[in-house]
């Protein structure tokens, strides 16, 4: 399937989305800590547990015996998948470009995840009327960042999510009503 360009592209986009929006230390480590704090007292009180209290706390970060540390496993797995993914991508431009239109390029916001400010960048090959909006996952428009004629060139727009809840948001670039591209971004407080 990876020999067929549409399948390869779809596969790469899914892996990139997974790495950015789910399998990420900034997302998972706080969840691990929160879940551990939720069960810690019950685990420590358990008289039939396999590992000591010190071992289970240690194993959150590092290897205990043959059991890899949960957080180090996540970090190492992400590096491994990223390396494998990079070998599938022929250029950095392909890696960061969310669009394949000849008229424009939309790039992944940076940083992502963010708190509370991020930058959305795009490039226009020729002058066009553009609309750049941010939506929540329910499709409700949060803010219109741009709605005007733009000359050809590269642009960056700052999105300030102060006051918004943590979660996944979508940014949508509409060029001349003909071309649309959407990217995902994650707000973490």
Residue range 164-172: mean pLDDT, rounded: 92
Q: Is the pLDDT of residue 97 over 60?
A: no
Q: What is the pLDDT of residue 131?
A: 95
| Percentage above 70 pLDDT, the chain | 88
Give ∠ CA 83-63-75 in degrees, rounded to 5: 25
Q: Is the pLDDT of residue 185 over 60?
A: yes
Q: Any idea which of 18-27, 86-95, 150-159, 162-171 has the lowest mean pLDDT?
A: 86-95
Q: What is the pLDDT of residues 85-94, one digit of tens each?
A: 666 654 334 4
Most confident of the ranges 3-12, 14-23, 80-89, 163-172: 163-172
Cβ atoms of residues 144 and 130 within 8 Å: no
Its pTM surpasses 0.75: no
Cβ atoms of residues 119 and 159 within 8 Å: yes
Q: What is the pLDDT of residue 87?
A: 60
Q: What is the pLDDT of residue 149?
A: 95
Q: What is the pLDDT of residue 93?
A: 42
What lies within 8 Å, CB to CB, of 173 at 6+ separation is: 99, 104, 106, 122, 130, 131, 132, 180, 181, 182
């Amino acid at each position: 399937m990876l020999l067929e360009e549409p399948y390869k592209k779809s596969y790469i986009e899914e892996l990139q989305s997974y790495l950015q929006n789910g399998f990420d230390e900034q997302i998972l480590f706080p969840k691990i800590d929160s879940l551990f704090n939720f069960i810690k007292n019950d685990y420590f009180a358990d008289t039939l547990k396999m590992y000591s209290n010190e071992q289970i706390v240690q194993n959150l970060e590092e290897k205990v015996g043959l059991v890899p540390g949960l957080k180090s496993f996540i970090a190492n797995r992400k590096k491994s998948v990223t390396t494998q993914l990079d070998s599938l991508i022929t250029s950095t431009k392909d890696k960061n470009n969310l669009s394949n239109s000849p008229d424009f390029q939309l790039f992944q916001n940076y940083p992502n995840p963010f708190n509370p400010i991020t930058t959305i960048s795009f490039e226009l090959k020729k002058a066009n009327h553009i609309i750049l909006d941010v939506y929540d996952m329910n499709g409700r428009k949060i803010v219109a960042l741009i709605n005007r004629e733009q000359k050809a060139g590269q642009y960056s727009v700052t999105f300030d999510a102060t006051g918004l809840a943590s979660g996944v948001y979508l940014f949508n670039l509409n060029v001349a009503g003909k071309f649309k591209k959407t990217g995902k971004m994650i707000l973490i407080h």
